[in-house]
Structure 1
């Protein structure tokens, strides 16, 4: 008789454990599906980046003995598709600002450039300031140099 009571307790424990495992598995499965759906929604909500390429231009810069040149091509990244129109309208201001910035740089500084990200950020700040001072929206996310040649 004692073994029957022991078997019932063991059977009851096993059923409780089985029910807990089954319930936990079901709950985890539904939570995982919700988690993946949330991740898909976050991915779908991320706006696509838009790039506006500026035409290549050459700027003269001073050197120790000779005048040197910088050839620069860059792209401006923005989440706004309409920002390309803004940059087209403001391109003379943008190019003028870049010419002023680079004309203050020296050949030695640019030819041995160690911090490209720093220079790109300096250009981003300059362009944001130029656009805002002239009544244009600043929607620049990033400035990317696609070519930088110093001769």
Structure 2
């Protein structure tokens, strides 16, 4: 009888083994799917709930009026400048350090030649230099310097 009983136990062992393997695969697959689902929104490294703050503008008033560095004749630059940031602390720093920012920008604008400001590329270079000056002033003062852009809302040379 023992010879007959042995073959009867083998299919039960195989079916239990198969059942354990199937359960293990389902559990591992389910765990992997759950992990993927939970981290799918965090692919950019930022929490999904954090939204981009709106851009805020700081107007440098009054308009800048400077003599240009041309040697052949007297030329002037008049510029209206807005500084853009999304950081409220940087906006407060811009307001607090307005006089120092204005001084640095006046010095920068007074170094320009009228011929360099006739083309768009020259105006864009001036914007980049102005952005660097603004960030340098804020950094020197130990203030947040998350400035996105310096924009000219009016730029006239004569």
Same fold (TM over 0.5): yes
CA RMSD of aligned residues (A): 2.3
**Gap runs ≥5 in structure 2:** 1-36, 42-46
- Larger-Rg structure: 2
Aligned equivalents of 2:49, 2:155: Cα separation in 1: 34
1:142 pairs with 131, 134, 149, which one? 149
- Give, in angstroms, the shift of residue 132 of structure 1: 0.7
TM-score (norm 2): 0.62
Distance 1:112 1:47 in 2: 33
Displacement of 1:98 in angstroms is 0.7
Q: Which runs of 5+ in 1 are unaligned?
A: 1-30, 36-40
> Between Structure 1 and Structure 2, how many residues are aligned?
114
Question: Are positions 1:102 and 2:102 aligned together?
Answer: no
Aligned to 1:119: 126
2:76 is the counterpart of 1:69: yes
**Normalization by structure 1: what TM-score?**
0.65
